Amino acid sequence: MRFMMIVKATTDSEAGVMPSQELIDAMQKYNEELVKAGVLLAADGLMPSANGIRISYPEPGGKPKVIDGPFTEAKEMIAGYTLIEVKSREEAIEWAMRMPDPHGFGQGEIELRQVFEVEDLMADPETLARETLLRKQLEEQKQA
Protein backbone atom coordinates (compact mmCIF):
# COMPACT_ATOMS: atom_id res chain seq x y z
CA MET A 1 0.00 0.00 0.00
CA ARG A 2 1.08 3.54 -0.70
CA PHE A 3 1.34 6.38 1.75
CA MET A 4 2.17 10.00 1.24
CA MET A 5 4.15 11.78 3.91
CA ILE A 6 3.16 15.39 3.48
CA VAL A 7 5.48 18.00 4.94
CA LYS A 8 3.53 21.09 5.94
CA ALA A 9 4.74 24.54 5.00
CA THR A 10 6.16 26.92 7.61
CA THR A 11 6.84 30.63 7.72
CA ASP A 12 10.44 29.85 6.74
CA SER A 13 9.59 27.57 3.84
CA GLU A 14 7.12 30.17 2.62
CA ALA A 15 9.76 32.87 2.88
CA GLY A 16 12.04 30.73 0.72
CA VAL A 17 14.59 30.21 3.51
CA MET A 18 16.63 27.13 2.65
CA PRO A 19 17.05 24.48 5.36
CA SER A 20 20.40 24.24 7.15
CA GLN A 21 23.11 22.02 5.70
CA GLU A 22 22.75 19.80 8.75
CA LEU A 23 19.08 19.25 8.02
CA ILE A 24 19.73 18.69 4.32
CA ASP A 25 22.29 16.02 5.25
CA ALA A 26 19.91 14.33 7.68
CA MET A 27 17.14 14.35 5.10
CA GLN A 28 19.45 12.92 2.49
CA LYS A 29 20.49 10.12 4.80
CA TYR A 30 16.86 9.40 5.56
CA ASN A 31 15.95 9.28 1.86
CA GLU A 32 18.85 6.93 1.23
CA GLU A 33 17.51 4.65 3.90
CA LEU A 34 14.10 4.64 2.19
CA VAL A 35 15.72 3.85 -1.13
CA LYS A 36 17.82 1.04 0.31
CA ALA A 37 14.72 -0.49 1.84
CA GLY A 38 13.06 -0.37 -1.57
CA VAL A 39 10.09 1.64 -0.28
CA LEU A 40 10.67 5.10 -1.79
CA LEU A 41 8.55 5.86 -4.85
CA ALA A 42 8.88 9.63 -5.16
CA ALA A 43 9.87 12.68 -3.15
CA ASP A 44 9.77 16.36 -4.00
CA GLY A 45 9.95 19.75 -2.35
CA LEU A 46 7.60 22.51 -3.43
CA MET A 47 8.50 26.11 -4.06
CA PRO A 48 6.93 28.76 -1.80
CA SER A 49 3.30 29.55 -2.51
CA ALA A 50 4.39 32.96 -3.86
CA ASN A 51 4.58 31.41 -7.30
CA GLY A 52 1.58 29.15 -6.76
CA ILE A 53 -1.92 29.52 -8.15
CA ARG A 54 -5.17 28.60 -6.47
CA ILE A 55 -8.22 27.65 -8.49
CA SER A 56 -11.52 27.55 -6.67
CA TYR A 57 -15.17 26.96 -7.62
CA PRO A 58 -17.24 29.15 -5.31
CA GLU A 59 -20.38 28.79 -7.47
CA PRO A 60 -21.58 25.24 -8.18
CA GLY A 61 -21.38 24.82 -11.95
CA GLY A 62 -19.89 28.29 -12.21
CA LYS A 63 -16.60 29.53 -13.57
CA PRO A 64 -13.42 28.83 -11.64
CA LYS A 65 -11.89 31.63 -9.63
CA VAL A 66 -8.15 31.98 -10.09
CA ILE A 67 -6.03 33.51 -7.31
CA ASP A 68 -2.29 34.06 -7.46
CA GLY A 69 -0.08 33.25 -4.47
CA PRO A 70 1.30 33.85 -1.95
CA PHE A 71 -1.36 32.37 0.30
CA THR A 72 -1.77 32.90 4.01
CA GLU A 73 -1.99 30.18 6.68
CA ALA A 74 1.29 28.37 6.12
CA LYS A 75 0.14 25.32 8.08
CA GLU A 76 -2.63 24.61 5.61
CA MET A 77 -0.19 24.41 2.75
CA ILE A 78 2.37 21.81 1.89
CA ALA A 79 6.08 22.26 1.34
CA GLY A 80 6.88 18.81 0.05
CA TYR A 81 5.92 15.17 -0.06
CA THR A 82 7.44 11.71 0.07
CA LEU A 83 5.58 8.79 -1.45
CA ILE A 84 6.34 5.33 -0.07
CA GLU A 85 5.10 1.81 -0.70
CA VAL A 86 4.90 -0.40 2.36
CA LYS A 87 3.18 -3.50 3.66
CA SER A 88 1.18 -2.02 6.50
CA ARG A 89 -0.08 1.19 8.02
CA GLU A 90 2.24 0.63 10.97
CA GLU A 91 5.22 0.37 8.66
CA ALA A 92 4.27 3.70 7.11
CA ILE A 93 3.99 5.28 10.55
CA GLU A 94 7.35 3.80 11.53
CA TRP A 95 9.00 5.35 8.48
CA ALA A 96 7.25 8.68 9.05
CA MET A 97 8.48 8.73 12.66
CA ARG A 98 12.02 8.32 11.38
CA MET A 99 11.86 11.35 9.12
CA PRO A 100 13.95 14.19 10.58
CA ASP A 101 11.99 17.19 11.88
CA PRO A 102 11.51 18.80 8.46
CA HIS A 103 12.12 22.39 9.52
CA GLY A 104 13.80 22.13 12.88
CA PHE A 105 12.55 25.28 14.57
CA GLY A 106 9.27 24.33 16.15
CA GLN A 107 6.93 24.48 13.19
CA GLY A 108 7.66 21.09 11.67
CA GLU A 109 4.63 18.97 10.84
CA ILE A 110 4.29 15.82 8.80
CA GLU A 111 0.93 14.46 7.72
CA LEU A 112 0.64 10.82 6.74
CA ARG A 113 -2.08 9.93 4.24
CA GLN A 114 -2.89 6.67 2.51
CA VAL A 115 -3.20 6.67 -1.27
CA PHE A 116 -6.21 4.97 -2.88
CA GLU A 117 -5.11 1.94 -4.86
CA VAL A 118 -5.65 -1.31 -2.99
CA GLU A 119 -8.53 -2.35 -5.21
CA ASP A 120 -6.23 -2.24 -8.22
CA LEU A 121 -4.19 -5.01 -6.75
CA MET A 122 -7.20 -7.07 -5.77
CA ALA A 123 -8.36 -7.57 -9.33
CA ASP A 124 -8.53 -11.17 -10.40
CA PRO A 125 -5.05 -11.73 -11.81
CA GLU A 126 -5.89 -13.52 -15.06
CA THR A 127 -3.18 -14.35 -17.50
CA LEU A 128 -2.53 -12.03 -20.37
CA ALA A 129 -1.21 -13.50 -23.55
CA ARG A 130 2.06 -11.63 -23.33
CA GLU A 131 2.69 -12.48 -19.72
CA THR A 132 1.90 -16.09 -20.43
CA LEU A 133 4.55 -16.00 -23.09
CA LEU A 134 7.12 -14.60 -20.72
CA ARG A 135 6.21 -17.12 -18.09
CA LYS A 136 6.49 -19.99 -20.48
CA GLN A 137 9.77 -18.58 -21.62
CA LEU A 138 10.98 -18.54 -18.05
CA GLU A 139 10.00 -22.16 -17.62
CA GLU A 140 11.95 -23.03 -20.71
CA GLN A 141 14.94 -21.20 -19.34
CA LYS A 142 14.67 -23.27 -16.21
CA GLN A 143 14.59 -26.50 -18.18
CA ALA A 144 17.46 -25.47 -20.40
Site residues for other proteins per CB under 8 A: 35-39, 41-42, 83, 85, 87-88, 90-91, 93-95, 120-138, 140-142
Q: Which is nearer to other proteins, 67 or 134 (CB)?
A: 134
Give every CB contact of residue 23 below 8 A, 6+ residues apart in sequence.
100, 102, 103, 104
Contact 114/29 with Cβ under 8 angstroms? no
- Minimum distance of other proteins from residue 6's CB (angstroms): 16
3-state secondary structure of 138: helix
Q: Which is nearer to other proteins, 46 or 69 (CB)?
A: 46
- Minimum distance of other proteins from residue 137's CB (angstroms): 5
- Minimum distance of other proteins from residue 117's CB (angstroms): 8
Strands 65-68 and 78-85: unpaired
- As a whole number of angstroms, the distance between CA 127 and CA 136 comes to 12
Q: Which is nearer to other proteins, 1 or 12 (CB)?
A: 1
